[in-house]
A and B are shown apart, each in its own frame.
Chain A
Amino acid sequence: MLERFARWETALVALLVLVAVVGQIRTGGAFLDGGNLFYLGLDIGEVALIALPLTLVVVSGEIDLSVASVLGLSSAVIGELWDAGWTLEAILPTVVVLGAVCGAVNGLLVTRLGLPSLAVTIGTLALYRGLALVVLGDRAVADFPASFTEFGTAPVPGTWVPWPILLCAVLAVAFAITLHTSSFGRSVYAIGSNEEGARFSGIRVKRVKLTLFVLTGAMSALAGIVYTFRFSSARADNGVGLELAVVAAVLLGGVSIFGGRGTLGGVLAGVLLLGGLRNVLILDDVSTEILTVVTGLLLLVSVLAPALTARVRTSSTGRRSP
């Protein structure tokens, strides 16, 4: 297992270098320019924020497709509350709590009723986006104070690092410690590899999963805040389809869709690779539609490759034991 991931992550890093080199050549050195890296950072901020908790969800053997809709709902609520005269200091915590509640609804339906997370989150994908539309309709709220929108658009003073990326970096460390060195993280892996075995070892499977869904909801709302300030625009359709990029990044990062395998480092490399590729293509004037195709293909490749190599390996060593 370790060898497999060493290989997978080595391949990711090699690909990253390849993208950077090709990017540098194609763009005449513009790719690794500080200004471009700043935009690259802005571009991957939301995906990275959501990919952190979603990694844990997928490692635990579940999936959350409603993340982009939670992002949109939180954006819509920011707009509506701002219009209603709330202060942003009051709005932002409210929105994060709302995201956590959205996640809790997913988590409770999955853990209490034993429903498949796929079905639940397809439903809430529609429901949360629908609620966003109900809240804000097709209006756009844009008159946020610059002191806040700067968080989404400006670099940390003296660097080319955007504020959201700084936030991401801090949270990434926290998530990596949680997943890889805490007893909670061990439980997440155990649940993803063998849920029944985890239960027989006294792990509170339902509680762990509920926690993961709540975290994912809250982080998606946080991503909604970043998104809203980045574009200085609260809209109900913010981030439509973003779940594709997030799921693609997580799977590209080597997390098994069947649960139990994957590292946060791999996922961060996946996010960077996906973002870097998009960035190079954008610099190359490729249309956004092609970007979607590329993202979709990457998703397909990253689920197919492990499945096919595993099959080649088992067929060479004979059938699996009973």
Chain B
Amino acid sequence: MTAVAPSRARRVAALVGRARELGIVVALALVIIPTALVNPRFVEAQGIRDLLLNASVVAVLAAGQTLVVVTRNVDLSVGSTLGLSAFLTARVFADHPDVPIVLGLLVGVGVGLVCGVVNGLLVAVGRVPSLVVTLGTLHVFRGVDFALAQGTQINASNLPDDLLDLGNGRLFGVPVLVLITLAVVAAAALYLRSYRSGRDLYAIGSNPEAAVLAGIPVPRRVFTAFLLSGTVAGLAGALWVARYGTVDAAAGTGLELQVVAAVVVGGVAIFGGSGTVVGAALGALLLGTIASCLVVLRVPAFWQQAISGALLIGAITVDRLLALRLARELRGRSDHDA
């Protein structure tokens, strides 16, 4: 109970929080510098733009996923939600070329919102582990996607030019998609940091039992987290259409693994309760950058998935080891204080 001990704990906590973001920056440097030496074009303006563009879809999804993971849940259905939203958005634009761009994008967002509501209801009301629920809805949403698509593909030629311009456009030299990604990340970060219901999400993940005793409406908050994750995935689906121009029912298959990897590598604790949206976005950037570097270094793209998986495992292992060490240190210290 001296003034020294608390401020030390505060410093340690701050250090651990910052160490992760610093670690990602270092990792980014370690990946980018050798690649840039091999191919200097990698760090020119266009190279950087591509890098950011490639990471943007996963970063958007990771922002939504962070909301879910801090509550000690997981949303595995985001890839399928993205696929379904992408296909339906493209369908709307192809069938109604005159529809305003924003309205069309809102269709995608709406599809994602519905998917999020389904997940949220099943998890929060059914009180079933989110892992199993979203493993189920992963396949259900994808199956619906395939059933609607009937094997068709929608190409850029069927889509309005305004939409494709959005996908390739720039504002002050920065791709519009990257700006949208930044906006989503900033909004999610602000929500988690500065709003009561956002802080509640951390509280729920940190100690679910105490959250109930503290009067936090736990089911409603968990529902909201899934709803937001779905909505964000829906937006990502709409952006996918704008970026790639070609959509079939398989869009975004397997993306959930990259998203979970990005979130965990970005320092969001898989046990819930801690982590930031910015960290998750940086995690997405790191994974995207590694993928881009593999291309430049002519490493077969097959390595990418293995690397994502290894990073995921590595991140949770390191987190766990750090937590164990911290706990041991705190145990030793409480003896001291007594």
Contacts known (A130-B308, A131-B306, A247-B135); A114 close to B320, Cβ less than 8 A? yes
Give the residue name and chain of the B residue nearest to A133 (CB): B302
Fill in one digit per residue for A271-298: 1 if any B CB lies within 8 Å of its CB, else 0: 0000000000000000101111101110
Instruction: Please tell me if B260 contacts chain A, counting CB pairs below 8 Å.
Output: yes
Instruction: Select A300's contact among B140, B143, B147, B324, beta carbons within 8 Å.
Output: B140
- CB pair A127–B127 under 8 Å, yes or no, is no
**Chain A nearest CB, measured from B331 CB (Å):** 16
**Chain A nearest CB, measured from B75 CB (Å):** 12
Instruction: Select B257's contact among A120, A125, A300, A308, beta carbons within 8 Å.
Output: A125
List the B side residues contacting A292 at CB < 8 Å. Answer: 139-140, 142-143, 146
List the A side residues contacting B257 at CB < 8 Å. Answer: 122, 125-126
Instruction: Please tell me if B172 contacts chain A, counting CB pairs below 8 Å.
Output: no
Instruction: Please tell me if B144 contacts chain A, counting CB pairs below 8 Å.
Output: yes
Instruction: Please tell me if A96 contacts chain B, counting CB pairs below 8 Å.
Output: no
List the B side residues contacting A124 at CB < 8 Å. Answer: 309, 313
List the B side residues contacting A236 at CB < 8 Å. Answer: 302
Most buried by B among A122, A243, A251, A293: A122
Instruction: Please tell me if B222 contacts chain A, counting CB pairs below 8 Å.
Output: no
Instruction: Select A115's contact among B127, B135, B138, B316, beta carbons within 8 Å.
Output: B316
- CB pair B313–A251 under 8 Å, yes or no, is no
- CB pair B122–A304 under 8 Å, yes or no, is yes
Give the residue name and chain of the A residue nearest to B127 (CB): A307
- CB pair A119–B316 under 8 Å, yes or no, is yes
List the B side residues contacting A241 at CB < 8 Å. Answer: 139
- CB pair B132–A296 under 8 Å, yes or no, is no
- CB pair A296–B137 under 8 Å, yes or no, is yes
- CB pair B306–A303 under 8 Å, yes or no, is no
List the B side residues contacting A247 at CB < 8 Å. Answer: 132, 135
List the A side residues contacting B317 at CB < 8 Å. Answer: 109, 113, 115
- CB pair B128–A303 under 8 Å, yes or no, is yes
Instruction: Please tell me if A38 contacts chain B, counting CB pairs below 8 Å.
Output: no
- CB pair B309–A126 under 8 Å, yes or no, is yes
Instruction: Please tell me if B195 contacts chain A, counting CB pairs below 8 Å.
Output: no
Instruction: Please tell me if A137 contacts chain B, counting CB pairs below 8 Å.
Output: yes
How far is B133's CA from A126's CA once the two chains are assembled, in angstroms? 20
Task: Tell me how many residues of B have a C-beta within 8 Å of chain A.
Answer: 45
How far is B27's CA from A40's CA once the two chains are assembled, in angstroms? 50
Fill in one digit per residue for B175-219: 1 if any A CB lies within 8 Å of its CB, else 0: 000000000000000000000000000000000000000000000
Contacts known (A119-B270, A137-B300); A127 close to B139, Cβ less than 8 A? no
**Chain A nearest CB, measured from B288 CB (Å):** 15
Contacts known (A296-B137, A303-B133); A123 close to B309, Cβ less than 8 A? yes
List the B side residues contacting A116 at CB < 8 Å. Answer: 270-271
Instruction: Please tell me if A118 contacts chain B, counting CB pairs below 8 Å.
Output: yes
**Chain A nearest CB, measured from B290 CB (Å):** 12
- CB pair A303–B132 under 8 Å, yes or no, is yes
How far is B235's CA from A251's CA once the two chains are assembled, in angstroms? 33
Instruction: Select A134's contact among B270, B302, B320, B324, beta carbons within 8 Å.
Output: B302
List the B side residues contacting A296 at CB < 8 Å. Answer: 135-140, 143
Instruction: Please tell me if B129 contacts chain A, counting CB pairs below 8 Å.
Output: yes
**Chain B nearest CB, measured from A131 CB (Å):** 5
Instruction: Please tell me if B169 contacts chain A, counting CB pairs below 8 Å.
Output: no
Contacts known (A114-B320, A120-B316); A127 close to B306, Cβ less than 8 A? yes
List the B side residues contacting A290 at CB < 8 Å. Answer: 143, 147
**Chain B nearest CB, measured from A267 CB (Å):** 15
Contacts known (A125-B309, A304-B122); A244 close to B139, Cβ less than 8 A? yes
List the A side residues contacting B140 at CB < 8 Å. Answer: 292-293, 296-297, 300
How far is B147's CA from A290's CA once the two chains are assembled, in angstroms? 7
List the A side residues contacting B308 at CB < 8 Å. Answer: 126, 130
Fill in one digit per residue for A95-133: 1 if any B CB lies within 8 Å of its CB, else 0: 000000000000001000111101110111111111101
Give the residue name and chain of the A residue nearest to B258 (CB): A126
**Chain A nearest CB, measured from B106 CB (Å):** 26
List the A side residues contacting B321 at CB < 8 Å. Answer: 113
**Chain B nearest CB, measured from A312 CB (Å):** 12
How far is B318's CA from A123's CA once the two chains are assembled, in angstroms? 14
Instruction: Please tell me if B39 contacts chain A, counting CB pairs below 8 Å.
Output: no
Chain B stretch 275-316: residues in CB contact (< 8 A) with chain A:
300, 302-310, 312-313, 316
**Chain B nearest CB, measured from A289 CB (Å):** 3
- CB pair A300–B133 under 8 Å, yes or no, is yes
List the A side residues contacting B300 at CB < 8 Å. Answer: 134, 137
How far is B128's CA from A151's CA once the two chains are assembled, in angstroms? 40
Instruction: Please tell me if B5 contacts chain A, counting CB pairs below 8 Å.
Output: no
- CB pair B122–A300 under 8 Å, yes or no, is yes
- CB pair B132–A299 under 8 Å, yes or no, is yes
- CB pair A293–B147 under 8 Å, yes or no, is yes
Give the residue name and chain of the B residue nearest to A118 (CB): B131
Instruction: Select B309's contact among A115, A118, A130, A257, beta carbons within 8 Å.
Output: A130
List the A side residues contacting B139 at CB < 8 Å. Answer: 241, 244, 292-293, 295-296, 299
**Chain B nearest CB, measured from A221 CB (Å):** 18
Instruction: Please tell me if B115 contacts chain A, counting CB pairs below 8 Å.
Output: no
Give the residue name and chain of the A residue nearest to B74 (CB): A118
List the A side residues contacting B143 at CB < 8 Å. Answer: 289-293, 296
Instruction: Please tell me if A205 contacts chain B, counting CB pairs below 8 Å.
Output: no
A-B contact pairs, 23 of them (CB 8 A): A113-B321, A113-B324, A118-B74, A122-B76, A122-B260, A123-B261, A125-B309, A126-B309, A127-B305, A127-B313, A130-B305, A131-B306, A133-B302, A236-B302, A244-B139, A248-B136, A257-B129, A293-B140, A299-B135, A299-B139, A300-B140, A307-B127, A307-B128
Further 9 A-B residue pairs, CB within 8 A, beyond A127-B310, A130-B305, A134-B306: A113-B321, A115-B270, A118-B270, A120-B313, A120-B316, A122-B260, A127-B313, A128-B309, A289-B249
Binding site for A on B (CB under 8 A): 74, 76, 122, 126-129, 131-133, 135-140, 142-144, 146-147, 249, 257, 260-261, 264, 270-271, 300, 302-310, 312-313, 316-317, 320-321, 324
- Top 4 nearest A-B pairs (CB, nearest first) are A130-B306, A127-B309, A126-B309, A293-B143
